Amino acid sequence: MAKKGTCGVCINKCFPGAISVVNLPSTDTAGLQVHCYGENGFRFFGVPQISPGKVIGLLGVNGIGKSTILEILAGRKLPNGGNFHNPERGFQNFSDQLSVASFRQFLDDLASKRLSIAYKPQVFTELLIRKESVREIISSNHQEGSFSKAAVTKLMELEPILDRIPSELSGGELQRLAIGIVLLQNADMYLIDEPCTFLDFRQRIKMAEIFHRMANKGRVVFIAEHDIAIHDFQSDVIYIFYGEPHKFGVMSRLAYTVKKGINNFLLGRLKDENIRIRGKEIIFTRVVKERQWKDIPGIEYSSFTKQLGTFTLTANEGIIHFGGILGVLGENGLGKTTFAQYLFNTLTTAKVSYKPQFLHRKFQGTVRDFLTRYSNTYIDSKEYKLYILKPFSISHLLEKPISSLSGGELQRCFLAGCLGKKADLYIIDEGSAFLDVEERLNATRVIRHIVSKNRAACIAIEHDIQIAEALADIILLFEGEPGYSGRTIGPLSKRAGLNRFLQRVNITFRRDPETGRARLNKPGSRLDREQRKIEAYYYDL
């Protein structure tokens, strides 16, 4: 019989291994404090290894410190070591205690200007105030030894907008320009904060390949991203961020392999560091058999053609079934938003609630005022609190002005306003933009619940392939020539729709057996070759 032991808590004796101690996130065990924003402000702990020749991914929820560490790496923020009263002394104390040799060397190189940094921030504030044309911005940022101006213009698909100024650009165009400015710089380190926002799936894959090209030249590349399928595809190693959002954040001590890091994040435990970072695991449910929609009624729409300048959208007739979600996939510039707006403006046989693609802060009032007007309902009711305010975590925002919200907070408020309204059809255009992984999955659950509860129909335009796969029941594809013509294909079954879409963007993916998440296959890998051979670009293992 195995020898028994005791923990000293009670008089009973247990077999060895019967009791294990797992640490929870705490500032007491977080290690060296890197930065603090004030007396009761956000505190950040942990620094990364500086590894040339690798794409280093940063993964965590919003408000947990990813942008903070990128701003420190960019030299825009001096780490104060927690001493916000005397930042310079705090920095010296922090530097003296620093045990990560590569980061200490990085700070020395940065201070002595032996290191050049190229940084793409999360938001486009600095870019939007510029009055030069895109052509002039490209010329003024180009440095010898980097990508050429012609190469960046082509890679970032900037030819059609060269003579426009930033304030005239769409979100996707601004994102591509911001990344292009980074590529034009001949830097030792490239820092990219949320590059996928507003980009379609094809463009996301393209960006991932470009970042790898930069790393292969021996550069250091850090990327903070919420699209876990793209993170998996583009990163060589992953740092996990955890803690309490907006209170304190901790960077994992270890840089994990991509599969292990993302799975540990979803499962909520960093086993190698003995830290439980989340109470519940995130598991993507595998749909064994697709539901048949043939005999289920819904909202029908007729075929139509819409002309916008030189762009033409041709849409076939279709139906959005009650209780179902029509997932819309396609590149930018093919008319997906035009399609959504057309249905919103012309459907007279159904009550429609619409969450637009582009959000704004023009509303003069609080979140409470906004939700009341948007939802046209009493938001203090028990039902609204239970099904909308609580799952979207916006009760604490009710008295804040809309103008003060972050991108993620604003997105959750617009989703809450749209889904809080009683409607026959919900149209949600890019609902996952600005949301972190947990918020995206939570929004997916709320959308499904509201559609089912109200016996309504839903159209969801999405670029995150993982979320699209988890959300959609059937698929409507948009194909054509971006900016010139678009046409609808389908609706198709989810398997057929995803398979055709992935075939067009020339990528395959399978399902991870541990978490159920979608994993993009590396081009040319064994699984990639096998799936292409049987034309199973979307393959549920």
- pLDDT tens-place string over residues 184-239: 999 999 999 999 988 999 999 999 999 999 999 999 999 999 999 999 999 999 99
**pLDDT over 90 (residue 289):** no
pLDDT band at 171 (very low <50, low <70, confident <90, very high): confident
Asked whether residue 286 carries a pLDDT value surpassing 70, the answer given is no
Per-residue pLDDT reduced to its tens digit, 94-131: 999 998 999 999 999 998 989 999 999 988 888 888 99
CATH: 3.40.50.300, 3.30.530.20, 3.20.20.370, 3.40.50.720. Which one for 50-77+114-276?
3.40.50.300
Is beta strand 325-330 parallel, antiparallel or unpaired with respect to 474-481?
parallel
Of 509, 512, 534, 529, the residue nearest 521 (C-alpha): 509
* CATH number for the domain formed by residue range(s) 298-358+421-505: 3.40.50.300
Pick the range with the lowest mean pLDDT from 5-19, 47-61, 386-400, 421-435.
5-19
* Closest alpha carbon to 33 in 47, 49, 23: 47
Q: Averaged over 58-76, what is the pLDDT?
A: 95
| Phi, psi of 286, deg, nearest 5 | -90, 125
Q: What is the model's pLDDT at position 445? A: 93
CA angle 528, 531, 533 (to 5 degrees): 105
Dist. CA 290–CA 312, nearest whole Å = 33
What's the pLDDT score for residue 141?
86
27 has pLDDT over 90: no
Could you give the count of Cα atoms lying within 13 Å of 1 in the half-sphere of its Cβ?
5
294 in Cβ contact with 267 (< 8 Å): no
Q: Which two tokens stand for residue 492?
A: 């198709």
pLDDT at 285 over 90: no
pLDDT, tens digit, for every residue of 494-541? 989 999 999 999 999 988 888 888 899 988 999 999 999 998 998 764
For the chain, give every domain's residue range: 50-77+114-276, 298-358+421-505
pLDDT confidence of residue 3: 46
The full length of the chain comes to: 541
Tokens of 533: 């051979």
Weakest mean pLDDT among 20-24, 436-440, 457-461, 489-493: 20-24
Report residue 16's pLDDT band, with 50, 70 and 90 as the boundaries: low
pLDDT (tens digit per residue) in 452-493: 999 999 999 999 988 998 899 999 999 999 889 999 998 999
Does residue 132 surpass a pLDDT of 60? yes
Q: Say if residue 321's pLDDT is above 50.
A: yes
Tell me what percent of the residues of the chain surpass a pLDDT of 90.
73
With a cut of 50, say whether residue 2 has pLDDT above it. no
Inter-residue contact 161 to 138 (CB < 8 Å): no
Mean pLDDT of the chain: 90
Nearest to 265 by CA among 287, 234, 298, 232: 232
What pLDDT, on a 0 to 100 scale, did the predictor assign at position 1?
41
353 HSE (CA, 13 A, CB side):
26
d(CA 205, CA 268): 27
Q: Can you state the angle between helices 171-183 and 201-216, rounded to 10 degrees?
A: 10
**pLDDT at residue 29, as a whole number:** 80
**Per the structure block, which two tokens stand in for 247?**
């209170």
pLDDT at 168 over 90: no
Checking if the pLDDT of 6 tops 60, the result is no
C-alpha–C-alpha distance, residues 209 and 211, integer Å? 5
pLDDT category of residue 362 using cuts at 50, 70 and 90: confident
Question: Over the stretch 381-395, which tens digit does the pLDDT of each residue have?
Answer: 999 999 999 999 999
Distance (Å, rounded) from C-alpha 325 to C-alpha 470? Answer: 11
Average pLDDT score over residue span 49-72: 95
359: pLDDT confidence band, cut at 50, 70 and 90?
confident
CATH topology agreement for domains 50-77+114-276 and 298-358+421-505: yes
